[in-house]
Structure 1
Amino acid sequence: MRAFFVALLGLFTAISATNAQEAGPKVVTDIAPVGALVAMVLGDEEGVSVLLPENASVHSFSLRPSQARNLQRADAVIWIGPSLSPWLERSIENLAPDAISVPLISVPNTLKLIIREDIGFIEHEHHGDHDEDHEDAAHDEGLHNEDAEEDHEGEGHEEDDDHDNMINAATADPHAWLEPNNAVVWLDEIAHVLGEIRPEFREIYAANAQVAAGKIMITAAGISEKLADVREIPFLLAHDGTQYFEHAFGVAAQAAIRDVNDATPSVRRLHDLGQQLEDAPVSCVMLDNESGYKEITLPSGEMPDRFGTLRSMGQGQTFGPDLYIAMLNDVADTFVTCLKP
C-alpha cells in the first residue's frame, strides 16, 4: 500500500504552483518549521519569510528593522501563537493590522497538550500502536483526502477532543509542531487562508496540502518504526520542548532541567530533579540550541553517558518545502543515536 501511495504522490507532485508564485501571497512566519509548511502549500519558499534566526531563542527574540518591514508587507502572518512567540503578538497589531493572523495553536482540531508543571514525567503515556496509527493515517491522507476535514473532526480524535476542551492556547505547551498530526491539520488551514488571499489558486493550494499531508504521514510511519527499539529508554531534557514528539512516537522523557518556557531552573527545581534522577537514572541527555547548555553535570555530580542535540526548529536544514520532514527525521535520528544501548 505504501508503494501505491508513493506513486500517487508522484502523480500529484506534477501539479505546478509556478503561476501561483508569480502573484503569490506574502507570508510571514515565526519559526522555520511553520514556514516550511507554508512553502509546501505554496509549492516553494518564495514569498515566505521566517522571522526567527536559526540559533535564536524563540522565547526572548525581538524584531530587527528589516524583519519589521517584512511584517508590514505581509498578507498573512502564520505563527504558533503568543505562548511561543510573545514578542510577535504586539508587532502584528502595530505593524500588520491588515494581515490575516493565524495562530496555529488555536486552529480547530489541533491537539493541545497541557504544560508539564512537575519536574519528572513519571506518568508518561506510552502509545503501543504508533506504527499502525501512522500507517493508517498515511493511507487515509492519500486515498480519502476529499473527506479530510471530516476525518480531522472525527476519526481517532474523540478522546483528544475531550482532552482539548480542557486546554486553551494559553495553557497549552506551544511546541505543537512536533506532532505530525497537527501539521496535517494546519496544512488544511494554511491552504484555506492562502486561498482566501489568492482565490484563483485555491485548488492548487488544496492539492499541494494533500500531497504534503501524505508525505508527512508516511514520514511519521517510518519514524515510528525507527524508534521502536528505544521507546522505553528514559532520557533527560535540557529544555521541556519535546512533549508533542513524545506523544506522537512514545519516547519516554524522565524529566527536564528547564521548563517549557526555557526559564533558568531554581535551586528547588534542581534539588527535586536530583531526587528524581536518583530514583530513576538516565544515560542520555537531550540538549537543544535554546537551552544554551554545551554540557551538563547531573545533580549527582556525574556526567551522563551520552548527549544528543535536538534541532527541532530545523537548524542546519536548507529552508524550503522539505525542511519540516527533514526536521522530523533529524530529531528522530538524534533520539536513536543517543538512546540506543
Structure 2
Amino acid sequence: MLHISLHKIFILAGMLIIGLASLSAQATIVASVKPIGFIAATIADGVTSVSVLLPDGASVHSYALRPSDIKNLKNAELVVWVGPDMEAFMSKAISNVSILHNNIQIDQIPGVQALLLRGVEHAELGSLYRHIGEKKIENSVSTDRQGRHYHGEYNMHLWMSPDIAKKIAIAIHAKLLQQMPISQDKLDANLRYFQSTLFVANDKIHKQLAPFKDKGYLVFHDAYTYFEKHYGLSPTGYFTINPEIQPGAKRLHHIRMKLIEQKGICIFAEPQLRPTVMQAISRGTDVRSGILDPLGASITLSKDSYVQFLVQLSDQYTSCFKGD
C-alpha cells in the first residue's frame, strides 16, 4: 500500500509540474496593435508569449472588442496599449481591476509626450474641406460615445517614433522584471538586443532617407509624423485625418491641385484605400504612387519585428521616391 501511495504521489506531482508548465506557457502579453506587439515580442522573447488584439485589416479607430478579446485581456499577464485617445475600444475593458494593475499605458510613460498634429497642413487642408459641399472637417474626425476625438489635439501614433519605442521597451522590461524576476538575465539580454539592433537600423535608415529630405509628397492619413520628424522627411500634407472616411471627388481635386502646385513626387496610400483614389489624383501627372503600412500587417511577431517594421517603412518611402 505504501508503495502504491508513493507511486500515486509521484504521478500527481508530475501532473502538477506539467500543469504549472502549461500555465506558464499560456501566460501572455496582450498588445493593442501590432507595432506595439513588435516591441513586446523582442523583450518577451524566450520568456512569455505575445498576442495582438487588433486583427490584420481592422481599424484601430473603429474596432469593437469581441468576447474573446475581453477574455484575453483578463487572462493576460500584461496589457500594453497607447491610451484612450487612440484605442477608445480599450477604455472600458482596461478599467477592470485585474487589467488596471497589469497594464502599460504608453501615453503615461514618463518622457513620452505626444507631438501636436501638424499645424500648417491641418489648417490648409481643413480650409479646403470646409467649403466644398461635403461633410465638414469636424465631422470627419472619429469620436467615441463620450464625444472624445481619436485624432484631436495630439497625434497618438506613438509607435512610429524610434525614441518612444525605446521607452516602451524599457517599460515592458521593468514590468516583466517585477512579475518574473527569475527571468532577469533573459529579459536584460532581450532589452540590450532591442537597443543594439534598433541603433544599427536607425543609422541605416537615416542614411537611406537622407537624399529625400526635400522631396514633397502626400500621405493618406496623418499617422507618420513621428517617423518623418525623426528621419527628416518633409511631407506636403495628407488626405484625411480620419482614415475611416474616403476622400470625395471634390476633396481629391483640391488635393491634386495642391500636389501639383507644390511639385510633389509621390502620393502614399494605405492598404485599405481604393486604387481608384490614387488614380484620380495622379492621372495626367508625373506623380508616383506608393503604399505605406502604419501597422505592419505583413510582418510576423518575432524578436526582430519592430526593426523590420521601421525598415519596411523606409523601403516603402524610398521605392516611391526613386521610382522603383
Q: TM-score, normalised by structure 2?
A: 0.75
Choose from 55, 59, 62 the match for 2:61: 59
Matched, 1:188 2:190: no
1:233-274 Cα offsets, whole Å, 9 max, x none, are 111111111111101111111010111665555888667645
SS of the counterpart of 1:119? helix
Q: 1:40 to 1:65 in 2, by over 3 A?
A: same
Q: Which sits farther off after the overlay, 257-266 or 236-245?
A: 257-266
Q: Which sits farther off after the overlay, 274-283 or 251-260?
A: 274-283
Q: 1:219 to 1:213 in 2, by over 3 A?
A: same
CA contact (8 A) 1:28 1:77 kept: yes
SS of the counterpart of 1:228? helix
Name the structure with the higher helix share.
Answer: 2
Within 5 Å, which residues of 2 pair with 1:3-22?
22=24
In the other structure, the counterpart of 1:328 is 310
Q: Distance in 2 between matches of 1:221 and 1:300?
A: 33
1:124-156 Cα offsets, whole Å, 9 max, x none, are xxxxxxxxxxxxxxxxxxxxxxxxxxxxxxxxx
CA contact (8 A) 1:227 1:336 kept: yes
CA contact (8 A) 2:47 2:187 kept: no
In the other structure, the counterpart of 1:35 is 37
Q: 1:33 to 1:289 in 2, by over 3 A?
A: same
In the other structure, the counterpart of 1:156 is none
Matched, 1:215 2:197: yes
CA contact (8 A) 1:76 1:102 kept: yes
1:97-142 Cα offsets, whole Å, 9 max, x none, are 45412111221122521122543699xxxxxxxxxxxxxxxxxxxx
SS of the counterpart of 1:227? helix
Q: Distance in 2 between matches of 1:45 and 1:308?
A: 38
Q: 1:73 to 1:85 in 2, by over 3 A?
A: same
SS of the counterpart of 2:196? helix
Within 5 Å, which residues of 2 pair with 1:122-271?
171-259=153-241, 263-265=245-247
SS of the counterpart of 1:237? strand
Q: Distance in 2 between matches of 1:268 and 1:119?
A: 18
Choose from 73, 88, 91 the match for 1:86: 88
Matched, 1:26 2:8: no
Q: Distance in 2 between matches of 1:267 and 1:310?
A: 22
In the other structure, the counterpart of 2:121 is 119
What do you get for the CA RMSD once the two structures are aligned?
3.0
Choose from 245, 257, 266 the match for 1:284: 266
CA contact (8 A) 1:238 1:293 kept: no
Q: Distance in 2 between matches of 1:193 and 1:263?
A: 38
CA contact (8 A) 1:285 1:304 kept: no
Deviation at 1:65, TM superposition (A): 2.5
Q: 1:68 to 1:278 in 2, by over 3 A?
A: same
Q: Which sits farther off after the overlay, 299-308 or 197-206?
A: 299-308
Deviation at 1:41, TM superposition (A): 0.8
Larger Rg, first or second structure (1 or 2): 2
